[in-house]
A and B are shown apart, each in its own frame.
Chain A
Amino acid sequence: MIRKKKCVAMLLAGGQGSRLYALTSALAKPAVSFGGKYRIIDFPLSNCVNSGIDTVGVLTQYQPLKLNDYIGNGQPWDLDRTFGGVHILSPYQAKTSSDWYKGTANAIYQNLNFIKQFDPDYVLILSGDHIYKMNYSIMLNYHILKNADCTIAAINVPKSEASRFGILNTKEDGVIYEFEEKPKNPKSTLASMGIYIFSAKKLYKYLEEDNADLNSSNDFGKDILPKMLNNGERMLAYEFEGYWKDVGTIDSLYEANMDLLGDKPNFDINDSSWKIQSRSPLAPPHYIGENAKTVNSIIMSGCEIFGSVENSVLASGVIVKKGATVKNSIIMAETVIGENSVVDYSIIDENTVIGKDCRIGESKENAKGITVLGRDLCVQDNSKIDGGQIVDKI
Chain B
Amino acid sequence: MRAVGIIFSNIHDNSVSELSRIRTLGSIPFGGRYRLIDFPLSNMVNSGIDTVGIITKSNYQSLMDHVGSGKDWDLARKDGGLVLLPPYGDANSSTLYNSRLEALKGITSFLFRADEDFVVMTDCDTICRINYNDVIEQHILNRADITLVYTKLENMEKSTHFVLDGSGRITGVYYKNEVVPEKSNVFANVFVMKLSFLQNIVMDSITHNKVHFTKDVIAPNLESMKIMGYEHKGFYAGITSLQAYYNSNMLMLNEDIRHEIFGDRSVFTKIKDSAPTKYGNSAVVKNSLIADGCEILGEVENSILFRNVKVGRGAVIKNSIVMQNTILGENCMLNCIIADKNVSVAGRKILSGSENHPFYIGKGIMI
Contact = CB atoms under 8 A, between A and B. Distances in A.
Contact of B265 (A269, A270, A283): A283
B276 A299 contact: yes
A275 interface: yes
Nearest to A276: B275
Looking at chain A's contact residues, the main secondary structure is loop
B278 interface: yes
A37 B275 contact: yes
A295 B267 CA distance: 29
A331 to B, nearest CB: 12
Nearest to A302: B265
A289 B271 contact: no
A283 B263 CA distance: 9
B170 interface: no
Interface in B282-330: 283-293, 295, 297, 300, 304-306
Contacts of A284: 31-33, 258, 262, 265, 267, 289
B175 interface: no
Contacts of A285: 31-33, 289-292, 304-306
B281 interface: yes
A280 interface: yes
Contacts, number: 108
B277 A298 contact: yes
A37 B276 contact: yes
B220 interface: no
Nearest to B267: A284
Contacts of A261: 278
A76 B275 CA distance: 14
Nearest to B258: A287
A294 B285 contact: yes
A381 B233 CA distance: 37
B33 A301 contact: yes
Given A269-B275, A296-B279, A300-B276, A288 B265 contact: no
A381 B255 CA distance: 24
B223 interface: no
Contacts of A296: 279-281, 283
Interface in A304-336: 309, 313-315
Interface centre among A270, A275, A283 (most CB of B within 10 A): A270
Interface in B250-278: 253, 255, 258, 262, 265, 267-269, 271-278
A298 B296 CA distance: 10
A290 B275 contact: no
Interface in A349-364: none
B276 A288 contact: no
Nearest to A286: B290
A282 interface: yes
A278 interface: yes
A117 B32 CA distance: 46
A76 B286 contact: no
A76 B292 contact: no
Nearest to B313: A263
A284 B278 CA distance: 17
A277 interface: yes
A301 B273 contact: no
Contacts of A389: none
B265 A301 contact: no
Contacts of B269: 282
B286 A288 contact: yes
Contact of B289 (A35, A287, A309): A287
- The contact size tier of chain B is 35 or more
A260 B278 CA distance: 9
A280 B271 contact: yes
Nearest to A280: B271
Interface in B150-209: none
Contacts of A292: 285-286
A42 to B, nearest CB: 10
B273 A280 contact: yes
B116 to A, nearest CB: 27
A286 to B, nearest CB: 6
Nearest to B307: A285
A260 B275 CA distance: 11
Interface in A245-302: 260-263, 269-270, 275-278, 280, 282-302
A300 B305 CA distance: 13
Given A285-B33, A285-B292, A288-B286, A299 B279 contact: yes
A36 interface: yes
Contacts of A295: 279-281, 283
Given A36-B276, A284-B262, A263 B281 contact: yes
A284 B275 CA distance: 15
Contact of B286 (A37, A269, A290, A315): A290
A277 to B, nearest CB: 6
Contact of B279 (A283, A294, A315): A294
A294 B283 contact: yes
Contacts of A269: 275-276
Contacts of A288: 285-288, 290, 300
A384 B109 CA distance: 67
A290 B276 contact: no
Contacts of B262: 283-284
B280 A286 contact: no
A280 B276 CA distance: 10
Contacts of A302: 265
B139 to A, nearest CB: 30
A277 B272 CA distance: 10
A315 B285 CA distance: 18
Nearest to A275: B273
B271 to A, nearest CB: 5
Contacts of B278: 260-261, 270, 297-298
Given A263-B297, A270-B293, A282-B271, A35 B258 contact: no
Interface string B42-74: 000000000000000000000000000001000
A394 to B, nearest CB: 27
B286 to A, nearest CB: 6
Contacts of B281: 262-263, 295-296
A289 B265 CA distance: 19
Closest 7 CB pairs of A and B: A285-B32, A270-B275, A36-B276, A284-B262, A285-B291, A300-B276, A288-B285
8 contacts: A280-B272, A282-B269, A284-B33, A285-B31, A285-B33, A288-B288, A298-B278, A315-B276
Interface of A: 35-37, 75-76, 260-263, 269-270, 275-278, 280, 282-302, 309, 313-315
Given A35-B276, A284-B32, 20 more contacts: A36-B276, A76-B273, A263-B281, A282-B268, A285-B31, A285-B291, A285-B292, A287-B253, A287-B255, A287-B289, A288-B285, A288-B287, A288-B288, A290-B287, A293-B284, A295-B283, A296-B283, A300-B276, A302-B265, A315-B276
